[in-house]
Amino acid sequence: MTSPNQYDVLVVGGGHAGCEAALAAARIGARTLLLTINNDHIAQMSCNPAIGGIAKGHVVREIDALGGEMGLNTDAATIQFRMLNLSKGAAVQSPRAQCDKVVYQRRMKWVLERQENLFVHQAQVLRLLVEEERIVGVVTEFGDRFVAAAVVLATGTFLNAKLHYGLSDFPGGRAGDVAAVELSRCLREDLALEIGRLKTGTPVRVLARTIDFSVLTRQDPDADAPGFAFRKDRSGLPSLGGSQIPQLPCYLTQTTAATAQAVRENLDRSPLYSGRIDGTGTRYCPSFEDKIVRFPDRESHHVYLEPEGAFTDEYYLNGISTSLPVDVQWAMVRSLPGLEQAHISRYAYAIEYDFVVPHQLAATLAVRRYPNLFLAGQINGTSGYEEAAGQGLMAGINAARLAGALGDGIVLGRDEAYIGVMIDDLVTKEIIEPYRLFTSRAEYRLCLRQDNADLRLMPMGHELGLVPQADIEPVRELAQEMASAQEKLQSVRHEGRLLWDLLRRHDTSYADLPGAPDVSPRAAGQLTIDARYEGYLQRQTAQADGLRKLDSWRIPPDFDYAIKGIRIEAKLKLEQRRPANLGQASRIDGVTPAEIALLQVHLKRHLETSSRPD
């Protein structure tokens, strides 16, 4: 019989990163154990029960194209879907879905528990077992020792975490869950990793029956919601009563002068401004008291009322995250139009937690000092379910490949995926606040659109064994359909002009082209985008080719950066981050193009010297 304590891959943490890591590893063929503090909190949406948004929606579609689960899970739990930025260009249009958080959580648990090669176990991991710079297993609170060839840590906000409600604080990984104090100590002391401290937060929840929706601005879901997943749901999850989950509107209100006054009068009771919080918060999702301090002249701020699910009366107040005392929270909420009689069902709070500073990672998400230890999600200093899931997918893939001796780790380039942009940023940039993806972070965002993620990445997902044949075939057929149609459009003329050139005009749709080949709506849409942005796409492709040339210059792990002409600041950063290639080195803050050119010369000499016979 197979030992219940021996696995190929151990995944610690059952959040969005851990779920994707465990599923990816198991689907590749690794015997995988997922360890989580509470089986009933797997894939819990601790903050807003929403998936997607600007750049984040791109990542979810990339996860789906590579064979991950987040897109399918979101579609099964969606109660409102909207495509953002429809009035703007194709590169920045992003899907976003409000989810029923219980359905999301339960479906993911269902998928995990029924996945071949994957086993779920409820226990808190206290420490890692280390032998000769390799992680050989973990020890749980019950004294169990689980051993494996590779370990993925996806601990979210749990490491030495503390919850803040005004000047009161409690240990906890989130409301209702314990903190992982011993594991944080192990990483800091036993493994001697560099640890930082970050902070995030969440707003109050209120009961819908106490809200006056008549004075709020209503936002309905899109009429024709395409969803996230390119692939078909084969989970076998029973439907809810044989019908689709009800689709629900969101609502908009705004803060008032009274809301701001309640904050200003109590800043001395804020843990953020009284020095009780050490962690750095994100600029892009600040607490409401931070908004009041940073923007004192602004009269009001938007607050979005978003349903927590189709089978609950709770609404999430997006935009008014706070760590102020609970009495102040009541004053703030009841100062909002439409919420004068609102009942708070859950208080807002801030959470601060430890993270592993990610310059210690390779691009495979393996810790350089411990090459079979992989980190994914908020432990790497990121924010958001989507960023976590993308990292989890890649960490699970690479852990399984290492455990099964399946070849080198998989690294996505900045020109291949937003996931590649994110991971490259983590290992090359200085992370001083929770990292969040934006379309502006991608140099090649016209190539990395959310609408073409399957064409870009599904062949790779299929090759890795994560995308079944039934899902890759439609993508291959679409690619062939597009290639055949484009060839005809670039050879057939109407009144002296190529049909392809006519399609490039913004006042001409594919249906307007006389004599154009019949194609599917999806192919017509893709061809229209390709035609209209052809010049820009060619330019970005040429730039990506230049990036790949730099990436092809591999830097040995023990390379000596004591080179005359390289400044001390650059030398220290290069030694700290140990870039794998010149491309990564060029993206490290503080390393100049002149120093990259100097590195290139010395690398060439190094290669020539090392290739000479003794």
The pLDDT value recorded for residue 241 is 41
User: Would you call 69 exposed, middle or buried from its count of C-beta atoms within 10 A (0-12, 13-18, 19+)?
Assistant: buried
Read off the tokens for 498.
């190529």
Q: What angle do CA 243, 246, 248 make, to 5 degrees?
A: 170
What CATH number labels 468-542? 1.10.10.1800
In the 8-state DSSP scheme, what is residue 353?
A: E
DSSP H helical ranges for 133-274 = 181-185, 257-264
Read off the tokens for 597.
């050119």
Locate CATH 1.10.150.570 in the chain: 552-611
The pLDDT value recorded for residue 1 is 52
User: Would you call 227 exposed, middle or buried from its count of C-beta atoms within 10 A (0-12, 13-18, 19+)?
Assistant: middle
Locate CATH 3.50.50.60 in the chain: 6-200+352-450
The pLDDT value recorded for residue 4 is 84
Q: Rounded distance, CA 371 to CA 573, Å?
A: 21
Contact partners, residue 557, CB within 8 Å, separation at least 6: 368, 578
Contact partners, residue 614, CB within 8 Å, separation at least 6: none
Q: Is 3.40.50.620 the CATH classification of the domain at 6-200+352-450?
A: no
**Topology, domain 552-611:** DNA polymerase; domain 1 (1.10.150)
What stretches in the chain show pLDDT beneath 50?
241-242
The pLDDT value recorded for residue 224 is 85
Locate CATH 1.10.10.1800 in the chain: 468-542
Q: What angle do CA 40, 41, 47 make, to 5 degrees?
A: 150
Q: Is the pTM of this model over 0.75?
A: yes
Contact partners, residue 605, CB within 8 Å, separation at least 6: none
DSSP H helical ranges for 465-589 = 469-489, 499-503, 521-532, 534-551, 568-577, 582-586
The CA–CA distances, whole Å, from 561 to 359, 366, 368, 557, 599 equal 17, 23, 18, 11, 8
